[in-house]
Amino acid sequence: MTFLEILWFILISFVFIAYLMVMFSIITDIFRDHEISGVAKAAWLIALIFLPFLTAIVYMVARGGGMAERSSRSTHALVDRQDAYIREVAQTSPADQITQGRALLDKGSITQAEFDRIKEKALA
């Protein structure tokens, strides 16, 4: 195998992987977009199957600007849902915090001043 054959193989592999990434990002964007109808989604998918390169170029020109916006909205929505879930699961009530602080005070792990700060924080 010559150096040029190896270089050609690397180039073709890179182009193929880039092509797959573009196709998957377009398909993901088609299903992420709630503004287009099901018929339009089916038409884009059929076009991607039968004329993949031409359809990818047309889709990127026609709808490419909105792809980043839809992806960003989806990511922000996911982060917001995750943050809400974490807050819901990790949140303890003020009474629980004061009880835990009292237990630490009774064990002698914290001082009265530290307990008062915990209590102030819990009631704030």
Is the residue at 97 inside a domain? no
State pLDDT tens for residues 13-53: 999 999 999 999 999 999 988 889 999 999 999 999 999 99
Is the residue at 27 inside a domain? yes
- In angstroms, the Cα distances linking 58 to 12, 44, 45, 51, 90 are 23, 10, 13, 11, 47
Task: Report the domain count for the chain.
Answer: 1
In the chain, % helix, strand, coil (3-state, to 5) comes to 85, 0, 15
In the prediction, which pLDDT does 20 show?
A: 95
Q: What DSSP state is assigned to residue 1?
A: -
Task: Give the domain range for residue 53.
Answer: 3-65
In the prediction, which pLDDT does 50 show?
A: 95
Q: Is the pTM of this model over 0.85?
A: no
State pLDDT tens for residues 53-94: 999 999 999 988 888 888 898 899 999 999 888 877 777 778
Given a cut of 80, whether residue 124 has pLDDT beyond it is no
In the prediction, which pLDDT does 5 show?
A: 95
